[in-house]
Copies of this chain bind each other. A is one copy, B any other.
């Protein structure tokens, strides 16, 4: 089985509820599809006769050099995909030099994830719950587990309208680490636990409390990017949450250039949504991103072959990215710029 087959195979392996939860998006899933298409619509413009015998795929994010720009996106409830769960994906990330982001909705204790990941790069994604104690506990776990940064997800005041989950009546089939309640909850019930009062004024506090750099995940516009700089964020993720929150929203790929312009290099810019091939990452970097997050493909690998499958997915992405640098005639990832792409008008 090739990594390209994992998506279809996962649909067979997983129950309809879990599969719908992982694969699905908000509303009519137009954004879900557009996220993938948006990268495809950007054309690559290669140069030739450059010595590409050595490629340098590394990037610098949050001041640290990383072997390549792929970051595993935070994704909830990975135990529903495979018993390897977050430890599986964290190991896959570590094995491939990918930065790993643990979801607040982890189905594994963050300390166990940290132990399995060892010295590898990992960040903690933070949902700010109505019950701030739950969030504080995650921050605490992040510090204990040597998580390098806090990724505060800001596009989730509450959950989006997800038709598949409503139809399937999906209830998470395991006990997640953060016990939002004593009883199993539907996604809609869980979504209601998020704190919709969160504002820009609250952000700096998380950095101070944790002593960790803050990355804001879910920014789509230049004005918000500017505010992220103002409140002291170390980075942002241009993201529509994998098309799971609002349907027909801008894709990360479409939103990226204006955000990059606004940020003007002052903080790091990551992007996600629909990154499926190594060359998608090259386009993101050409448009000014410092790194990319990858979500569902890692999950499909996990679902099909556990940690190994997740690793194979990441390996292929890295290999494709490396090969793209060569074929683009741009052997250093950090030299990618807008001249290597032609975006649609």
Contact = CB atoms under 8 A, between A and B. Distances in A.
A234 B163 CA distance: 38
Contacts of A202: 49
Interface string A194-232: 011111101100000000000010111101100100000
B254 A197 contact: no
Contact of A53 (B45, B197, B323, B324): B197
Which interface class (under 10, 10 to 19, 20 to 34, 35 or more) fits A?
Answer: 35 or more
A160 interface: yes
A246 B324 contact: yes
Nearest to A34: B43
Given A44-B249, A166-B2, A157 B326 contact: yes
Nearest to A167: B2
Interface string A24-65: 000110100000000110111111111111000000000000
Given A221-B46, A245-B327, A52 B279 contact: no
Contacts of A198: 49, 51
Contacts of A28: 40, 277
Interface string A148-163: 0000001101101101
Contact of A4 (B2, B43, B163): B163
B221 A163 contact: no
A328 B155 CA distance: 9
A162 to B, nearest CB: 11
A327 B49 contact: no
A345 interface: yes
Contact of A248 (B43, B48, B195, B248): B43
B157 A327 contact: yes
A43 B249 CA distance: 5
Contact of A247 (B52, B160, B166, B277): B277
Contacts of A39: 248
A320 interface: yes
A95 interface: no
A175 interface: no
Interface in A232-267: 245-250, 254-255
B163 A27 contact: no
B44 A250 contact: yes
A199 B195 CA distance: 55
A342 interface: yes
A49 B200 contact: yes
Nearest to A166: B2
B47 A221 contact: yes
Contacts of A220: 45-46, 48
A158 B326 contact: yes
Contacts of A327: 155, 157-158, 160, 245-246
Contacts of A221: 45-47
17 contacts: A39-B248, A44-B248, A45-B250, A46-B220, A47-B224, A48-B219, A49-B202, A49-B227, A51-B197, A51-B198, A51-B199, A53-B196, A161-B278, A161-B319, A246-B328, A250-B342, A254-B342
